[in-house]
Amino acid sequence: MTLVREEYIPKSMEAVNCTLCDSNDFSHHENIGPLTESGKRRYDYVKCSKCQNVYLNPRPTYDEDYLLSAYDQYGMGNDIVKTKGVINDKEREILNRYQITLKQLKSEFNKSGSILDIGCGTGEFLLAAKELGWKPHGIDISAPMCQHIRENLDLEARSGQFHEMDLSSWGKMDVIFSSHVIEHVPFPNAWMQTFHKVLKDDGILCLNIPNQYAPEKIVQRTLKKVRLRKDEWENWRTPDHLYEPHIESMKYLHEKNNFEILKIETYSSREVENPSPFYNFFYKNLKFGSKLRIFSRKKK
């Protein structure tokens, strides 16, 4: 399947308050996106003065046009779709990395059973969970990808906005997992409250998210400001990170919504099951990685 990617130009923009605390007091943080005729990049990240959240403001109006442009077909070119669910070596590596987290949930938090993957994409995490004996369920905004999961992987998946869905037929979940998804939605507080409703009382929430203040990202932003690094932006891209998480802003979000953080760590896209002492020190102890993983549970 060849996907045609045309330039994305927002039909309209909307000014918004902070996505976490609703304050309208902010300062400029970063200019991103394609260059416009004025010589300025199209989008701006600002930093909330109250909770330190970094968010897009103004942003493309979050409507059906934006959702279709950003997400409807975003994973349909993946190998697992092309092969109708046949796993190749590349996909096996992805499943193996997901299973690191699944095994961690068992070894560190004594969790197994039902698991809900929000933003399940083309279903690799669901497959990884099934292989380890979990009962996986998936949700994604993309109807075509959920159809692929049901037809090609024979797993349960529904499309829609998570906080608006009736999931009672699936029952309460032992674990909710969501990898690099919550930063894409304009209503993270609504999601956190829905996590509360869907999780069992002793359930675990596991969020994978970007780390805005990782040393690597700080250096990249600095080099861009002094024009020693190009800001590569493909014109078809939507500015889909509506806010850019970091440790302090995520602590605020969890506390506000009555979640107790059990563990925060960073990780690499080349994560392995038995990492070196250097990896553990750099990513787990210092938390210098560009990707965050947060384990939490509902406060009692």
283 contacts: CB under 8 Å, gap ≥ 6: 265, 266, 267, 268, 275, 289
Q: Distance between CA atoms of 242 and 139, rounded to whole angstroms?
A: 20
Q: Distance between CA atoms of 9 and 23, rounded to whole angstroms?
A: 28
Confidence band, pLDDT 50/70/90 cuts, at residue 73:
low
| Domains recognised in the chain with CATH numbers | 13-298 (3.40.50.150)
Confidence band, pLDDT 50/70/90 cuts, at residue 235:
confident
Q: What is the pLDDT of residue 5?
A: 66
pTM of the full structure: 0.94
Model confidence over 178-199: pLDDT tens digits? 999 999 999 999 999 999 999 9
End-to-end CA, the chain: 49
Model confidence over 123-161: pLDDT tens digits? 999 999 999 999 999 999 999 999 999 999 999 999 999
Q: What count of Cα atoms within 13 Å lies in the side-chain half-sphere of residue 29?
A: 22
175 contacts: CB under 8 Å, gap ≥ 6: 105, 111, 113, 114, 115, 116, 203, 204, 205, 206
Confidence band, pLDDT 50/70/90 cuts, at residue 1:
very low
Strands 135-140 and 114-118: parallel
